[in-house]
Chains A and B, each alone.
Chain A
Amino acid sequence: MSTENAVDGYGALHQAIKACGVRLAASLPDDWMAPLITRLAADPEITHVRVARESEAVAIASGAFFTGTRSMVLIGATGLFTCPGELATLNLRHQIPVFLLVSERGSPDDLRIYQEVQGRRLKPVLEALDFPHLRIDSLEAVARLPQAYEWCRLQKRPVVAFLARTLLKGGTRP
């Protein structure tokens, strides 16, 4: 894969997550998220929990909220598609904020056929549930992550930050 247009998105994201004050990260990888998850797992200041299903990560982060611990969920778009029930009946019902970093699979520059439906329908599903989402596609947007994290706490519900392919993989396709 050419990385001529790539930025160090993973490194910048790692630092921005720490700037959010995150001390617990719960994750289930897809291939875009894996390098970031590997970084967090190696960070001695962050408790990292590998889960078997994405909604576990949502619930673990929600429990950590009640100890005053800042947490984050890192999953792929396909995994997020499995979570709306738990996000609605745990986080929306009890007004528990949870911040999710999610690969923006199925975007127009992601030519994997098995990601196409996620790209076309995931954001409308989030909007139907009134879960705010934003897009992180540049280092400038990464730098605003701590502000978005604070906004999530104020929202008292799930907030999804989609990580764009251009940030993680550079501007050219494999």
Chain B
Amino acid sequence: MKTRECFELLAPYAPEAVVVCALGMAANEWWAVTRSDETFYMHGAMGFASSFALGIALTMPKTPVWVLNGDGSMCMNLGSLLTEASRQPDNLKHLVVANHCYQTVGGLPMAGRRETDYAAIARGAGIREAITVRSLDEMRQALPRILAPGYLLTVLEVECESIPIIPPPQPFEGAEMKYRFGRHMERRFGVSVFGPQGF
């Protein structure tokens, strides 16, 4: 299963959710599929996209929040699974794209083994609902569960693909990322992210 194929199955349902992408392959492939500028593409803080998404989910509890994480990112901050386990907000879906390599820097393998079971790690951290999807058929079967209310961590076992090393493809970054996403949140939910002077 390729990451992009997996995201193509998810993307039609994304308008219902607030989406946060970890830096690297998850962000790049989500951009390739959706061209969405209503997503927050984290360009730094590797390992902390799920924490960022948790902050959104806890303070906007009626809105579905998806975090598209990478296994390289998740493994930089495995302790966050304990934090997530302690809250498990009903509106948060944590999807971990697991290719067991650092794809955007040339596909070098991660520590661990291909058999490393991230869902088991999550369950061990106290997360009640953690599943693994290994094919597009399994992904189609899992979609109703992924889209249903209730916290869920889903590990998407995908191929480590041979691609050239590429920089983040979004044609905006830094402060523009903040303002695009923040203005979207203001328009969509009527919240006030920025004050009257724009900061």
Most B C-beta atoms less than 10 A away, residue of A50, A66, A88, A89 = A66
Determine if B114 is an interface residue (Cβ-Cβ < 8 Å).
no
Determine if A71 is an interface residue (Cβ-Cβ < 8 Å).
yes
B44 touches A66 (CB 8 A): no
What residues of chain A lie closer than 8 Å to B44, measured between beta carbons? 86, 88-90, 93-94
Determine if A81 is an interface residue (Cβ-Cβ < 8 Å).
no
What residues of chain B lie closer than 8 Å to A66, measured between beta carbons? 40, 56, 181-182, 185, 193
Which residues of chain A (18-55) have a CB below 8 Å from chain B?
A: 23-24, 26, 47, 49-53, 55
When chains A and B are docked, how far (Å) is the Cα of A96 from the Cα of B45? 13
What residues of chain B lie closer than 8 Å to A23, measured between beta carbons? 59
B86 touches A50 (CB 8 A): yes
What residues of chain B lie closer than 8 Å to A154, measured between beta carbons? 199
What residues of chain B lie closer than 8 Å to A24, measured between beta carbons? 55, 58-59
Look across to chain B and name the residue whose beta carbon is closest to the beta carbon of A23: B59
Determine if A60 is an interface residue (Cβ-Cβ < 8 Å).
yes
Look across to chain B and name the residue whose beta carbon is closest to the beta carbon of A64: B55
When chains A and B are docked, how far (Å) is the Cα of A30 from the Cα of B87? 22
B80 touches A53 (CB 8 A): yes
A60 touches B178 (CB 8 A): no
A96 smallest CB distance to B (angstroms): 6
What residues of chain A lie closer than 8 Å to B193, measured between beta carbons? 65-68
Contact flags B64-101 to A (C-beta < 8 A → 1, else 0)? 00000000000001011011001100000000000000
A55 touches B178 (CB 8 A): no
When chains A and B are docked, how far (Å) is the Cα of A106 from the Cα of B80? 28
Which residues of chain B (25-66) have a CB below 8 Å from chain A?
A: 40, 42-49, 51-60
Determine if B163 is an interface residue (Cβ-Cβ < 8 Å).
no
Q: A62-B55, A63-B51, A66-B40 given as contacts; is B182 within 8 A of A56 (CB)?
A: no
Which of B48, B57, B82, B177 sits near A55, CB closer than 8 Å? B48
Most A C-beta atoms less than 10 A away, residue of B45, B58, B182, B193 = B45
Count residues on chain B whose CB falls below 8 Å from chain A CBs.
42
Determine if A124 is an interface residue (Cβ-Cβ < 8 Å).
no
B152 smallest CB distance to A (angstroms): 19
Determine if A136 is an interface residue (Cβ-Cβ < 8 Å).
no
Determine if B189 is an interface residue (Cβ-Cβ < 8 Å).
yes
Determine if B108 is an interface residue (Cβ-Cβ < 8 Å).
no
Which of A53, A71, A94, A95 sits near B55, CB closer than 8 Å? A71
Determine if A164 is an interface residue (Cβ-Cβ < 8 Å).
no
Q: Measuring CB to CB, which residues of chain B are less than 8 angstroms from any residue of chain A? A: 20, 40, 42-49, 51-60, 77, 79-80, 82-83, 86-87, 173-175, 177-178, 181-182, 185-186, 189, 191-193, 195, 199
**Interface pairs (14), CB distance under 8 Å:** A24-B55, A50-B86, A53-B77, A53-B79, A55-B48, A64-B58, A64-B59, A66-B40, A67-B56, A68-B185, A89-B44, A94-B44, A94-B174, A97-B199
Apart from A59-B48, A63-B57, A97-B199, what 9 extra A-B contacts exist at CB < 8 Å? A50-B86, A51-B80, A63-B53, A64-B56, A67-B60, A86-B45, A88-B44, A94-B178, A153-B195
Q: Measuring CB to CB, which residues of chain A are less than 8 angstroms from any residue of chain B? A: 23-24, 26, 47, 49-53, 55-69, 71, 85-86, 88-90, 93-97, 153-154, 156
